[in-house]
């Protein structure tokens, strides 16, 4: 299964957790069950297992580092507060920041491109541009720290 679908599930899970105050495991389980019932993910155990594992890595990774991630994002949110962002944009930014900073297996530019697509898919017309701007600044900040 594609990592994009796993990222969509991760964003939806993070959103569910914030909206309904459910645990990370419950949010992921609920969404994975819905997708299985709707035949949007196949019955192939290897396919489902790897997707489920990747979704959980993303969701739990964001959750474990949420304060650090929000602090990083806040540095690059010109004129905004993390808690004032739309719920969708906030979850997309958190996921992308997690992938860019804490995952070695995902190139930062790939994480940005995926985040832009997720923002366009789940958010408003302006979400893609907004997410791109914030993550572009974050990438510059990361590169400055490394040099």
Residue 40: per-residue pLDDT = 64
pLDDT band at 37 (very low <50, low <70, confident <90, very high): confident
Domains along the sequence of the chain with CATH: 1-64 (no CATH), 65-147 (1.10.940.10)
pLDDT (0 to 100) of residue 48: 53
User: Longest C-alpha distance within the chain, in Å?
Assistant: 48
Residue 45 has pLDDT above 60, yes or no: no
Higher pLDDT residue, 73 or 142? 73
Which residues, in sequence order, are CB contacts of 65 under 8 Å at separation 6+?
Answer: 98, 102
Nearest to 18 by CA among 127, 95, 126: 95
Average of per-residue pLDDT values in the chain: 90
Residue linked to tokens 């019955």: 43
Give the number of C-alpha atoms closer than 13 A to the C-alpha of residue 30, restricted to the C-beta side. Answer: 13
DSSP structure string for 88-128: HHHHHHHHHHHHHHH-SSS-HHHHHHHHHHHHHHHS-TTHH
State the pLDDT at residue 1. 47
Question: Is 21 or 91 the better-scoring residue by pLDDT?
Answer: 91
Q: Taking residues 28-53, what's their average pLDDT?
A: 74
What is the dihedral angle through the alpha carbons of 101, 103, 30, 37, rounded to the nearest 10 degrees?
130
What's the pLDDT score for residue 47?
53
Query: H or E stretch including 22?
Result: none
pLDDT digits (tens, 9 = 90+) for 103-137: 999 999 999 999 999 999 999 989 999 999 999 99
């Amino acid at each position: 299964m594609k990592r994009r679908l796993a990222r969509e599930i991760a964003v939806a899970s993070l959103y569910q957790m914030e909206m309904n105050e459910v645990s990370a495991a419950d949010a992921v389980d609920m969404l994975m069950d819905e997708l299985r019932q709707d035949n949007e993910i196949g019955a192939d155990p290897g396919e489902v297992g790897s997707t489920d594992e990747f979704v959980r890595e993303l969701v739990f990774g964001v959750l474990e580092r949420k304060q650090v991630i929000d602090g990083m994002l806040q540095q690059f949110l010109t004129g905004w507060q993390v808690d004032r962002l739309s719920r969708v944009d906030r979850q997309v930014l958190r996921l992308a920041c997690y992938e860019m900073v804490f995952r070695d297996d995902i190139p930062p530019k790939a994480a940005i491109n995926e985040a832009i697509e997720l923002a366009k898919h789940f958010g408003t017309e302006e979400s893609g541009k907004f997410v791109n701007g914030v993550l572009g600044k974050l990438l510059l900040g990361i590169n400055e720290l490394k040099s």
